[in-house]
Amino acid sequence: MKRYLVALVALTLLLAIVSVAVKPIAPQIILPVNILLAVYFAVITGVQHFIVVKSFYKSPRRFVQIFLASTVATLFIHLAVLAFYLITHLNEARSFTIAFAIGFATYLVFETTALVLTVNKEKKKHQAEAGR
């Protein structure tokens, strides 16, 4: 779990640095809220990962149910945040939607990769124990 948190923080810092570095080049595209968006995705992704991994270790049979439920809940949270921001900041809608989509895709790939690595690690561990 510690390696995951370090990687999550590193990804978030990387996205924040890229946002700050690109701002002078494209000030209309990069919004001040982009850094907060990276933090938002990091928190949501971290909480979702913690819940899913904890359920995997607690009851592997319920893992898929918990994974699907947390994914649906996360999607609804994302939709609510996106809708709220777009309603309150209509003039920044296009830039925010693009930044949100990039952040969503980035953290989705990160979370999926981390989850696959965790499950594969446990499978190998279980197979090694069964072979003894």
Nearest-angstrom CA–CA distance, 63 and 72: 14
Q: How does pLDDT run across 8-54, given as a tens digit for each residue?
A: 999 999 988 888 887 777 666 667 787 889 899 999 999 999 999 88
pTM across the whole model: 0.84
The per-residue pLDDT for 27 is: 67
Q: How does pLDDT run across 93-126, given as a tens digit for each residue?
A: 888 898 899 999 999 999 999 988 888 887 787 7
Nearest-angstrom CA–CA distance, 38 and 77: 15
The per-residue pLDDT for 25 is: 78
